[in-house]
Structure 1
Amino acid sequence: MKFTSRGSVAIRATSTPEPDGTTLLRVEVRDTGVGIPEQQRLHIFQPFAQADTSTTRRFGGTGLGLAISAEIVEAFHGEIGVESSLGRGSTFWFTARLGPATGARRDARLRRTREHLGGTKVLVVDPDVQNRLILREQLGWWHVTSFGVPDADGARASLAAAREAGDPYDVVLLDHGLPDGEGLATARSLHLDPRFVHVPLLLLSSAYVPLTDDLRRVGITACLTKPVQAAQLRDALVRTVVGEEGVRAVEPRPEEPSEVARGKLVLVVEDNPVNQVVARGLLSSMGYDVDTADDGAEAVELTAVTPYDAVLMDLQMPRLDGYAATRAIREREASTGARRTPVLAMTAAAIAGEREKCLAAGMDDFITKPVAPATLASALRRWTGDEAATSGADTGSGTAGRPTRATVRPTPPTATSTSSVSSCSATSRPTTRPTSTASSAGSWPAAPTPSPASGPPWPTTTRPGWRPRRTG
């Protein structure tokens, strides 16, 4: 942005399926700025390199942005490069090879949107060719037929021609910033013309414009702030073409709670109240009942009186941390012969050795924050669902009906490393980066044997007024 005083900066992303099942992503960033001399393009991907090295340059920087970008792209087995014309602008681009998509496809909303908007005809009136392109591409995704014009004269001509051909426009997307302030004037003139009085107008503006009675009187049914979010544009179009019931129809229907989760009770041990609320909402939406504890000491007390199906344990907490709390729970289970309660660590400290430390304390699984809903659902299903009932039938006293860490933790696929990539190279990098192919095999670390603690590590007194809290 800082190199482009006039014109625009446009970002375009495309994808191409590859024969091996991967997808080649290509992203281009094009500006109309100062451009880069040919001799400077040869080294701008080096660390601390600047296209303008003079002491009087207008634009500062460390010269690390492109170097870091190049390393990231190489890690994705892609290429990075630049095309530039001095005084006219530059186009930086990169590619990345992505594996097959995983997870559920969310096609229901798109399908219903296409059912409502497919075949609708929309006129896009915007003086900027890039804005027209973006809007028309988005409309095309919903199977909307569209045409773009840059000004009010073009809008009148297009509306008249379509009406005479017997294929009139259903909606007009009208930019508020037409030349000479013609946005609202164009809306008034179209609304006063008996040929177009029934064509609804959606006003697009770079600044917030409230939908007032004056705007409604000239045919404007909605005001959208640019850049227009796809969901906002979709809802405005559906509301205009179909009505309010159409907007409700395209909203995703709530998913039914998982059968695995029904009747299961999960304890969330977390000292942050906001995190408690988030975890409670997420687990409740999956169908679990939820209790919460503010620290490890409270978790030890709760698990002594309530047979939880799983415990989600934070690590850093006051009074008693997650490691000590888990050791205390395991000691009690061993001394009383109680059923082993699955304890899943939840931490933002995804550093080397943290997983081993959690397993050594007696935890069964390790989930990093921020927690992805699919990851949490999978982990809980593994430890509380059918897998838990069948995997650990012969694990011995105290663990019957639960999967053991040695059998439930799968070995992940071969990992890819970028050890051949240097963070600071003394040689010049070409404009196009070659693809890196270095890789090494990796495996899930084995679970060490828990070591017993040497006495109760938690406080022996409880807080006044303490009682279990059921929140689900």
Structure 2
Amino acid sequence: MMGGRIGVESAPGCGATFWFTVDLAPGDPRTVPGDDTDLTGLSIIVAEPDPVQRAVLIRALEDKRAAVADATTADEAVELLTMADADLLLLSDGLLEHHPDDAPGAPNPRLSAPAVLARIAAAGVRPPPTLHLVDGREQAGDCPPETGGDGAPSAGQPPRHDHLGRPIRRDALFRRLAALAGRAVPPDRQADSPLAATNGGPAALDKAAFETAALIPTAAPPMILVAEDHPTNQQVILRQLRQLGFEADLSGDGLEALTAWRARPYRLLITDCHMPRMDGYELSRQIRSAEAAAPDTESASGPVAGSVAGSRRRTAIIAMTANALAGEMERCTAAGMDDYIAKPVTLKQLATALNRALGEGSAAPPDEPPAAEPAATAEQTLDLDHVRTTFGGFDAASLDMLDFFLETTRPLLDEATVALQRCDLEAVRGTAHTLAGAARTAGANRLGRAASALELAAHRGDPDGAEQALAAVRAAYPAVEAAIRALRIGEAV
């Protein structure tokens, strides 16, 4: 994902040399966070539903020599806290109440952070000092403090609750946790900017920013907001936008995107239509409703966004979805969207849509890369020409994306199987929709077609058809996995 290369040189009896190359901008010592916040020995529970974000948080805290345990459900968080005291709790919204295997078929809602804290208290355990990871400033009051109505801690005592907005920066995270633990907090640094660390930025964890923790204070904020729930599609659209000269903020669903949009203006929103918590249709309706309630400041030339005191200009909205159902474009238009592009989206298609939304000449479509020699099974299993067209070439970053596709697709197969076993066809439809979009983006055409067939069967309420389609999906996946693994082996050699 960083545009570099990795490989290995090996000879029998001589060993192996692994190498990588990556281009990095020179660092500015004024903006690189220091490593002088002391979290050594603190026991911290990380309760985060997203596996990628959870892994990044755990690694960052372990680097600071904290003792970290993780909880993937509310029940796990309660169990950990009843077994042993913890110094701190790092808590996100959206934890499942229990693991699906513990009570198959039983209601299993996703809980807010206050609901998780209430369950902990109901178990007879006082929650430890808690850092609530929020999606934006509107949620900052969700976790009420225990120390009084004004939220102020007792004199001389550290606070018991705090909030940190996404995207999360290492320095900001460490400072907040140290303060909650009552430890000394080093003097403020440029990299711990409240604007970047706490105000309603994009809702998905910015992994690259988290790990590098480098800010560029002079850079203009992105004018594009992307709302997309699948990790593979997130990485693809962000890379495509960068190749066309644009940076973007990222949200994992419609509710997060709405929070980010309310926090500051964006010229353009690119949104998937089917996402958890709030879909793209409702997101678009909410934005158009908010714009209609504000003073009319739209320019005569079209949807140009900006910010005027007490007002907001119109945000252009592009729908981006792999929906296999008829009438999708009409639904997008009725919800107030301006344009529609179907997944998988090539660089040329994205550039054309950006020019329609932002003005002709805003994005220069790249030259089409040369096609590879056709392979006997390329169309059936993995369409590498599509990958080249999507990314403007086939390089190490493209291989990284395909690897990431495998990592994030395997769990979808299991989710669809479990949902079908409990006859939850709506959950099957949603999972199949996500899988179809990711498969087509990765060039896995046969897998994408099978996933679309599963989506249609679930939409029709046909459990027998869904079972057959799911069998086809599971049969198509191993060939895709083998093809991608073969590409990785060939690249390394």
TM-score, structure 2 normalization: 0.29
Larger CA Rg, structure 1 vs 2 = 1
Q: Answer 1 or 2: which has greater helix percent.
A: 2
TM-score, structure 1 normalization: 0.30
**Structure with bigger RCO (C-alpha 8 Å, 6+ apart):** 1
